[in-house]
Amino acid sequence: MKTAELIDITKDYLQPGTANSTRVLDHISLSITEGETIAITGPSGSGKTTLLNILGTLDQPTSGKVILGGKNVDQIDEKQLSRLRNRFTGFIFQLHLLLPQLTVLENVLLPVMPVGDKLFRKEAGLRAVELLERVGLKEHLSHYPAHLSVGECQRAAVVRALINKPKLLLADEPTGSLDARNASILAELLAELRESYDYSLVIVTHDSEVAKRMKTHYRLMNGKLTE
Ligand SMILES: Nc1ncnc2c1ncn2[C@@H]1O[C@H](COP(=O)(O)OP(=O)(O)OP(=O)(O)O)[C@@H](O)[C@H]1O
Ligand SMILES: [Mg+2]
């Protein structure tokens, strides 16, 4: 079973102030199998973030198809799409983007709020505590992000991305703001948690140590993706 698929994707951006457009993604296809781990590298501006955002339905391609969990995202309505995005995918960004006015525990539970199912929400509460303990944040559940280190915030962001048990975890340079040691801890954690959470992982990274831990390695350059 495939977790997600990109079929013949192109993405053009209009050049500001002109009628010209630039092609950032040039007929890209990518198939992600269950539990697969993928690293994507490529020069700055090559379209890695654009590709990841299209995969996570945060952005739309100019042409081509995006299939998530067997569903063509073009063929479902906005409500179904936001539900799919919330439940099926998890995102980790370069900067953790935790909300400063919420505690660590409240932050990681944010993606659970739109989920109607009461039992699921209760389970998520227990899962949040268990996961936060597992990533070494047991002492910080009720602390605010400002009182945590960047590495700790990034681990909390990993828990937030996993709280709805996504099948597809998308990470855009998640170790970009960390030192070598913390980058290694985070990469290790993403590999380790996959054992129990069973997600497919697509990670954009400049860090060859992080990339090496992934099964498949793609390079994005001149609009093309090569293995
Ligand atoms: N909303 C937008 N409008 C116009 N051009 C854009 C937009 N978003 C991105 N681009 C352009 O598309 C290209 C790819 O951007 P993208 O952010 O995907 O690159 P990237 O590979 O993630 O780079 P980096 O490694 O620096 O994060 C860049 O040239 C960028 O300027
Ligand atoms: Mg980027």
pLDDT digits (tens, 9 = 90+) for 116-128: 788 888 999 999 9
Number of H helices, E strands in the chain: 7, 10
Output b/e per residue, 150-181; b: 16+ Cβ within 10 A. ebbbbbbbbbbbbbbebbbbbbbbbbbbbeee
pLDDT at 188: 86
Q: Give domain status of residue 162, yes or no.
A: yes
Helix, strand and coil percent figures for the chain, each rounded to 5: 40, 25, 35
Q: Tokens in use for 162?
A: 């996993």
Ligand 1 in reach of 205 Cβ (< 6 A): no
- Residue 206 CA: which ligand is closest? 1
pLDDT at 200: 96
For residues 43 and 223, the answer to whether their CB atoms sit within 8 Å is no
Number of domains present in the structure of the chain? 1
Residue from 20, 28, 49, 218 to probe ligand 1 pocket by mutation (most atoms less than 8 Å from CB): 49
Q: Are strands 71-72 and 63-68 parallel, antiparallel or unpaired?
A: antiparallel
Give the neighbor-by-neighbor strand order of the sheet with 216-221. 89-92, 168-172, 200-204, 37-41, 216-221, 224-226
Cα 175 to Cα 94: distance, rounded to the nearest angstrom: 6
Say if residue 139's pLDDT is above 90: yes
Q: Give domain status of residue 63, yes or no.
A: no
Say if residue 221's pLDDT is above 90: yes
Segment 166-176, tens digit of pLDDT: 999 999 999 98
Q: Give domain status of residue 161, yes or no.
A: yes
Question: In the 8-state DSSP scheme, what is residue 166?
Answer: -
pLDDT at 47: 96
Segment 157-206, tens digit of pLDDT: 999 999 999 999 999 999 988 888 888 888 888 988 998 899 999 999 99
pLDDT at 168: 97
Q: Give domain status of residue 171, yes or no.
A: yes
Percent of the chain with pLDDT over 70: 100
CATH number of domain containing 82: 3.40.50.300
Measured in Å, residue 55 CA sits from the centre of ligand 1 at 15
Measured in Å, residue 112 CA sits from the centre of ligand 1 at 30
Query: What ligand 1 atom has the least distance to the C-alpha of 173?
Result: 27
Give the neighbor-by-neighbor strand order of the sheet with 71-72. 21-33, 2-14, 63-68, 71-72
Q: Give domain status of residue 116, yes or no.
A: yes
Backbone φ, ψ for residue 214 (5° rounding): -95, 150
Q: What letter represents residue 220's amino acid? A: L
Cα 163 to Cα 89: distance, rounded to the nearest angstrom: 10
* Closest residue by Cα to residue 132 from 160, 111, 113: 160
For residues 43 and 71, the answer to whether their CB atoms sit within 8 Å is no
Ligand 1 in reach of 61 Cβ (< 6 A): no
pLDDT at 191: 86
Residues with Cβ < 8 Å from 79, sequence gap 6 or more?
none
Q: Give domain status of residue 4, yes or no.
A: no
- Residue 41 CA: which ligand is closest? 1
Q: Give domain status of residue 15, yes or no.
A: no
Q: Is 214 helix (H, G, I), strand (E, B) or coil?
A: coil
Say if residue 209's pLDDT is above 80: yes
Q: Which domain holds residue 211?
A: 34-57+75-226
Segment 59-90, tens digit of pLDDT: 999 999 999 999 999 999 999 999 899 889 99
Percent of the chain with pLDDT over 90: 72
Task: Give me the chain's average pLDDT, please.
Answer: 92
Q: Give domain status of residue 5, yes or no.
A: no
